Structure 1
């Protein structure tokens, strides 16, 4: 396998979870060139993967066929003579490009009428029996293991920070008079919905408690543009404390990766940024509500999970179907602060 193409998943967390597959393929074929076709949304994750030779960015939209764009990409990729392609999303449209590009070996899971588009496939496990995502992706490498080597535990994801991104973030911190020696990053968002978001009032009280405990602490709120209002509510709840900074929506994902890599402690919901923190081996507290920490945990021995394991959870709903959000609301700032102290 001289050249391998990866069709990336569409979510940041899933992209992080795919890095061990890249590491496994590189170990199996050390002289291969691994390229990744990714949407602009997740492309920065693969720029932080040491195994990747080239990230091919494409304006691929969620739930859109974009037939003309896919045909154009396929023509360009066909000229690169890839030996194999691993299609990580389960959709039919994600399998179209490698098929149109005539890549001979196309690996993936069965799903959404992809017969023929994927010519080497594994059975897609049910949602009930699905293994953790790292194992789910790494299993695809077994399709290349002709000697059927014994199955070993999948390694944890590892990301690296680019020199340029680190320099850009350090310049931003300096301009904002933020000393990163006592830097905390709080990530109040979660793309899936409110049932995965610890309430902003809880984040505000935690921020005040952290600063009361460490007068030099600087807290940066990190997330997407959609999370900016959450950041403002946290600052308002903390009485506009000048040591809390709302950077939601004002950093690129490359910069967000670098910022998390520079922080002393990360506190987040179950989100893509949580997985980035784990892959950077940063001390972190991960707060879970409606989702299952057994399926999507932060894979790091420096991570502490806070989950109440109530009878109604994990419900996997975007909003609390019972209307009380106890799975998150009953996690107190005091408990999170105590958990932060255990990270030392």
Structure 2
């Protein structure tokens, strides 16, 4: 868990004044990259920090304090698309003093190399020896968390990584929030519970629909609005949750842009989510959050907010990091009762009545 205040030594040598972060392709990882932005702005006061990011994430980068702008690349996840990278690199020549390459793939290091950025920092991997000239060896025991690994790239090689890192932050603007409400015809006059039942990685990270709905029904019975959010791929699951919760639930999965999802989550009085990108968004917005973990490890990618709680059964077979349950039973999620989540919500919201969840068919 991050501590405050976070402090690192100022840089004593040549100070880069223009820094390019090559960002990750996952929403959650991109959110965690904001911690690195904070470190760079503290280490190099006055430096301009840009983020090279997939086009879909430009709006997310725009909500990261400390970033000047997003440099979009439309090359798809896992695709080389060399011509596009060459064209972008030509456009970026002479624009930056240092590039920090957060992904470990070879293709992610191509643009900084082709653009001739003088200092190119990243972890060894995928034969990137030529592409990077400031290489680091990743010590997974010293840096067990993804966010720690990102932050360490912003420090010099001889700097001992700090035990704590600054929590990622996202900022929204009231005009954008109001625009999202108007566009989607949403009511924000009552307390809002956001449910995020999706997880891009696979079923072994998804708490069952019925359990999400049980939490939603409990708060709906106390007069809350329930917003169910996710990507278009989560639409069917989100609708199933809404059907079980009742008429106060709104299915927003696939109906919002990523920017709108961030802006709307900022209105939530509470969020319940699987280990997903939207979980990290909620944490970075400092919304009261309960994160449900099944096959993944809360010690690797936890929500980095003191206003969050983690629910995990800690079975012998978990975390397995698999997309599908290798044991065929999914007990790490099926056996995780809604009462456990409601109890954590009650800790975050002392005035919440976390009573017995309603079951299907109850009024």
Q: Aligned partners of 1:150 and 1:7: how far apart in 2?
A: 21
Higher helix content, 1 or 2:
1
Equivalent runs, 1:306-317 vs 2, <5 Å: 306-317=311-322
Alpha-carbon displacement from aligned partner over 1:170-206 (angstroms, at most 9, x marks no partner):
3246x23x23431110000000000000011111222
Which residue number in structure 2 is paired with residue 116 of structure 1?
130
Distance in 1 separating the partners of 2:302 and 2:113: 34
What residue in structure 1 maps to residue 257 of structure 2?
Answer: 252
> For the residues of structure 2 that align with 1:217 and 1:154, how far apart are their CA atoms?
34
Does residue 106 (structure 1) correspond to residue 120 (structure 2)? The answer is: yes
Q: How does 1:20-59 map to 2 (within 5 A)?
A: 20-59=35-74
Question: Aligned to 2:126, what secondary structure does the other structure show?
Answer: coil
Q: Which residue of 2 aligns with 1:229?
A: 236
Q: What residue is the counterpart of 1:206 in the other structure?
A: 215
Structure 1: unaligned runs, 5 residues or longer: none
Give aligned pairs, total. Answer: 334
Deviates more, 1:202-211 or 1:253-262: 202-211
Whole-angstrom CA distance in 1 between matches of 2:83 and 2:175:
34
The question of whether the paired residues in 1 share the 8 Å contact of 2:94 and 2:117 is answered with: no
Name segments (4+ residues, structure 1) moved above 3 Å.
148-152
Choose which of 319, 327, 331 in structure 2 pairs with 1:322.
327
Determine the structure 1 residue equivalent to 2:275: 270
1:219 partnered with 2:226: yes
Which of 153, 166, 176 aligns to 1:140? It is 153
Q: Retained in 2: the 8 A contact 1:111–1:124?
A: no
1:18-39 Cα offsets, whole Å, 9 max, x none, are 1111111111111111111100
Is contact 1:17–1:157 with CA below 8 Å preserved after alignment? Answer: yes
Q: Distance in 1 between matches of 2:28 and 2:189?
A: 25
User: For 1:254 and 1:165, how far apart are their aligned partners in 2?
Assistant: 9
Maintained 8 Å contact 1:180/1:262: no
Structural mapping, 1:232-243, within 5 Å: 232-238=239-245, 241-243=246-248
Secondary structure at 2:171 match in 1: coil
RMSD: 1.7
Alpha-carbon offset, residue 221 of structure 1: 0.4
| CA distance in structure 1 between the aligned counterparts of 2:145 and 2:53, rounded to whole angstroms | 22
Q: Which residue of 2 aligns with 1:83?
A: 97
Between the aligned partners of 2:65 and 2:210, the Cα distance in structure 1 is 39
Q: Is the 8 A contact 1:110 1:122 kept in 2?
A: yes
TM-score of the two chains, using structure 2 as the length reference: 0.88
- Counterpart for residue 67 of structure 1: 82
Which position in structure 1 is the counterpart of 2:337? 332
Specify every segment of 5 or more residues in structure 2 that has no aligned partner in the other structure, as ranges. Answer: 1-15, 350-363
Partner-residue secondary structure (3-state), 1:262: coil
Deviation per residue, 1:50-74 (Å, 9 max, x gap): 1111111121211111000000000
TM-score in terms of structure 1 length: 0.93
SS at the partner of 1:60? coil
